[in-house]
Amino acid sequence: HQPFQIIVRYTTADGPAIWWLDPELTYGNAKPFVFTQGHSVCNRSFFPCFDTPAVKCTYSATVKAPAGIQVLMSATQSSYLEEEGVYQFYMEYPVPAYLVALVAGDLIHADIGPRSRVWAEPCLLPTAISKLSGIVERWLTAAESLYGPYIWGRYDIVFLPPSFPIVAMENPCLTFIISSILESDEFLIIDVIHEVAHSWFGNAVTNATWEEMWLSEGLATYAQRRITTETYGAAFTCLETAFRLDALHRQMKLLGEDNPVSKLQVKLEPGVNPSNLMNLFTYEKGYCFVYYLSQLCGDPRHFDSFLRAYIEKYKFTSVVAQDLLDSFLNFFPELKEQCVESKAGLEFERWLNATGPPLAEPDLSQGSSLTRPVETLFKLWTTEPLDSVAAASSVDLTKWRTFQTVLFLDRLLDGSPLPHEVIKKLSECYSSQLDSMNAEIRIRWLQIVVRNDYYPDLYKVRRFLENQMSRMYTIPLYEDLCTGTLKSFALEIFYQTQNQLHPNLRKTIQQILSQGLNPLPAIDTTAVTTDTPAMVLEDKVSEATNGAISLRDVNVSA
């Protein structure tokens, strides 16, 4: 019963957790870059660990780096011995293995609040400051008012090169975010607030098993929307929710209502990467269940009080769904007396284990001032005969919010291919407006162009792909190009741009291009060894290719 120490001396080869970038794959093209991505079971290739969310521990790390390379980790304390080039890190609170993260490169920082700073490559830092200065503290304060003190000390953000395989990762004290999202203000807001929410739901209290990821993602999504409601109003929150629920129903159509991955409690078979189970059900069906629980209380502020008590009881531990639901019923004994857990058609057990869509969805009527114009414009363009072009063309999309525009374009995408007359008129009305908008909007318009074989705008697809190095903005377009008649066009662009893509992304695009073709000519992928396990999202991509689910439909913000 005495404490003892075990020392394991080890080396690690290239593995799925560690991403090495040559200078050419960074924005500054000046210095090499490395980052880790541990979610969900990749950190076992980074260091020896109990790679399960059920086990939490503190950690310390010593990192030696060349002069001029800044090293950061997801730790509460750090120091630097300049003469030795050695960084020391210590995380004083217990965390699961997947939340240990490291990044190193040409990074500089600026303070954007009393407990927050932003890190980025020098050429990106001014943009990051202008987007986030002052408002991160506003989000943290709103979250604390809802769910209790922020326990991690600092909340810093580091913007990573476009090779980062997901949108964002909630590493404690140091959120990782892909730099590509900087140009899309509303997506940036939602992504950062979602990661802020994880400081309570996911990091402080963690799902004990990957079969119940909704305990982190569903609760974090609910908390994110409570924070956005407090800071930006209910209408904006309802608009963003409508956009995500649209995507959920799109994924449901593609997967089928009986697909077991649509359960909140998914069965994890031996040998399956838990990341394959991450989908919009984890987030949005989980959110709908949490929202339903909040409605049982009658007032969301009463539910906020429960979540504060839940965090206080379980912080720094890992839980299962029954822990949450038992705590809920004990906190509200009147609901327990009413047997709300057994309400016909809405049983808690059915929420957790039934396939298909959520059993109930939130009332989004408070967002009608923002969603109604989208619905009206969509009907104008899709009601035959097309005699409302004048009314439709008078709508100025530059005055809309980003989430309005992407909701409109996603619905046009769902209806594609459209009649040639419609796509021609759409291009005449909106193409030039959309050219000046952010990448989240432009990629959707370009997918419409591709799915409708609209050749006059194909040059814009080429131009977009020539300037994108991010998985989130390349894979969906390549998938669409290869599904239709434009595979040779896709091959041509790929051969021109492959050297600017990370080897893992290059390999994924090769797989997409190879569908139904003879093997592609050999391409240099020396940075990806043949025994390297698939990266977290490569499994998603192969599923997407085979099942026609594009990353547009599974835009993962961890």
Return the CATH number of 366-514, one of 1.25.40.320, 3.40.50.300, 3.20.20.150, 3.40.50.10860.
1.25.40.320
Catalytic hit among 121, 186, 195, 284: 195
Residue 131 has pLDDT above 70, yes or no: yes
Predicted pLDDT of residue 554: 36
Residue 405 has pLDDT above 80, yes or no: yes
Mean predicted confidence (pLDDT) in 475-484: 94
Catalytic hit among 87, 98, 222, 283: 283
* pLDDT tens for each residue of 422-448: 999 999 999 999 999 999 999 999 999
Are 18-199 and 238-269+276-363 the same fold in CATH? Answer: no
Strand 18-21 and strand 33-36: the pairing is antiparallel
**Distances in whole angstroms, Cα of residue 84 to Cα of each of 64, 71, 80, 132, 430:** 8, 14, 9, 34, 57
10 Å CB burial of residue 359 (0-12, 13-18, 19+) is: middle
Predicted pLDDT of residue 530: 30
Separation of alpha carbons 467 and 460, rounded Å: 11
Mean predicted confidence (pLDDT) in 195-220: 98
10 Å CB burial of residue 166 (0-12, 13-18, 19+) is: buried
* pLDDT tens for each residue of 93-103: 999 999 999 99
Please choose, from the candidates 398, 377, 402, 93, the residue with its C-alpha nearest in 3D space to the C-alpha of residue 236.
402
Residue 552 has pLDDT above 70, yes or no: no
* pLDDT tens for each residue of 56-106: 999 999 999 999 999 999 999 999 999 999 999 999 999 999 999 999 999
Predicted pLDDT of residue 385: 75
Mean predicted confidence (pLDDT) in 462-475: 95
Residue 541 has pLDDT above 70, yes or no: no
Separation of alpha carbons 432 and 484, rounded Å: 25
Contact 109, 158 (CB under 8 A): no
Q: What percent of the chain has pLDDT over 70?
A: 92
Predicted pLDDT of residue 522: 39
152-166, 267-281, 471-485, 537-551: which range is least confident on average?
537-551
pLDDT band at 13 (very low <50, low <70, confident <90, very high): confident
Residue 345 has pLDDT above 50, yes or no: yes
Separation of alpha carbons 446 and 454, rounded Å: 10
Residue 556 has pLDDT above 50, yes or no: no
- Cβ atoms within 10 Å of 413's Cβ, excluding its own: 22
Mean predicted confidence (pLDDT) in 258-270: 94
Return the CATH number of 238-269+276-363, one of 1.10.3470.10, 1.10.390.10, 1.10.3720.10, 1.20.1330.10.
1.10.390.10
> In the sheet that 102-105 helps form, which strands lie side by side, from edge to edge?
18-21, 33-36, 102-105, 70-73
Look up the CATH architecture of domain 18-199: 2-Layer Sandwich (3.30)
Annotated binding site for Zn(2+): 194, 198, 217
* pLDDT tens for each residue of 193-204: 999 999 999 999
Q: Where are the domains of the chain?
A: 18-199, 238-269+276-363, 366-514
* pLDDT tens for each residue of 251-263: 999 999 999 999 9
Mean predicted confidence (pLDDT) in 35-39: 96
- Three-class secondary structure of residue 519 per DSSP: coil
Is residue 283 flagged as an active site residue?
Answer: yes
